Amino acid sequence: AQSVTQLGSHVSVSEGALVLLRCNYSSSVPPYLFWYVQYPNQGLQLLLKYTSAATLVKGINGFEAEFKKSETSFHLTKPSAHMSDAAEYFCAVSDRAGGTSYGKLTFGQGTILTVHP
Amino acid sequence: EAGVAQSPRYKIIEKRQSVAFWCNPISGHATLYWYQQILGQGPKLLIQFQNNGVVDDSQLPKDRFSAERLKGVDSTLKIQPAKLEDSAVYLCASSLNFQVPGELFFGEGSRLTVL
């Protein structure tokens, strides 16, 4: 079964600093990969997704992620953190067509991002 | 465009009681999902519908959980009888079609506390 591991349940950065949230997946075949954000008492919102050959994916709010097959990673970055980025971030994975989990998302445990003034 | 609507937002019950959650997806979305999110964990898929048919309910505890989407639009998730470990946020999500990998749109969730 597909799975993702998010390293670090809590990440704290200063406003203006680099944000790096780590995600590794387990699959012999490159899957589809997603990052979602959840603000307090709200549902999840898609930040970005990897579903094609372009390994560097840009998303909303200045976030981007790079798919690295050799490292089975899909880390999320943002060059300069803003106070409004404080939220919980989830990495998720889905099989490509033909896989048993095609069309379904499996989520990681989540990483809470805190941004200090 | 209206988002995914869920109700109630909050529910407190005692163990062995029953509870039902309602979800109305985005208009035209064929696929509807129910996820369970326990505090400190990522969402876990309970059941997936395509129109009014079940695509996957392998992780649904069928001895106490049931879900339906009779007319292929809104859906109800029921728990009977509830256990303490069912305390969680129940998230409903919808997408245009699960066969096209794309964005899931989530509702704000229904938070269940079982005492």
> Tokens standing for B89?
């946020």
Opening angle at CA B61, ends B58 and B63, nearest 5:
125
Tell me the Ramachandran region of residue A72: left when phi exceeds 0, alpha when psi lies from -120 to 50, beta otherwise: left
Asked if A45 has any chain B CB less than 8 Å from its own CB, the reply is yes
Task: Identify the CA nearest to A73 among candidates A29, A17, A26.
Answer: A26
Cβ-nearest to B107 among A43, A90, A92: A43
Determine the distance in angstroms separating the CA of A72 from the nearest CA of chain B, rounded to an integer.
20
Asked if A61 has any chain B CB less than 8 Å from its own CB, the reply is no
pLDDT at site B64: 97
Asked if A103 lies within 8 A of B4 by C-beta distance, the reply is: no
Report the pLDDT averaged over residues B2-15: 95
Between A14 and A94, residue with greater pLDDT: A14
Between A8 and B103, residue with greater pLDDT: A8
pLDDT at site A29: 76
Cα–Cα distance, A21 to A111 (Å, whole number): 7
Asked if A46 lies within 8 A of B103 by C-beta distance, the reply is: yes
Task: Identify the CA nearest to B92 among candidates B73, B113, B71.
Answer: B73
Phi, psi of A83 (to 5 degrees): -55, -35
pLDDT in tens, A73-112: 999 999 999 999 999 999 999 877 666 666 788 899 999 9
pLDDT in tens, A53-74: 789 999 999 999 999 999 999 9
pLDDT at site A100: 61
Which contiguous run of DSSP H or E holds residue B93?
strand B88-95
Q: Confidence band (pLDDT; 50, 70, 90) for A117? A: very high
Cα–Cα distance, B7 to A32 (Å, whole number): 31
Asked if residue B10 lies in contact with residue B109, where contact means CB atoms within 8 angstroms, the answer is no
For B48, the closest chain A residue by CA position comes to: A104
User: In chain B, what residues touch A97 (CB-CB under 8 Å)?
Assistant: 99
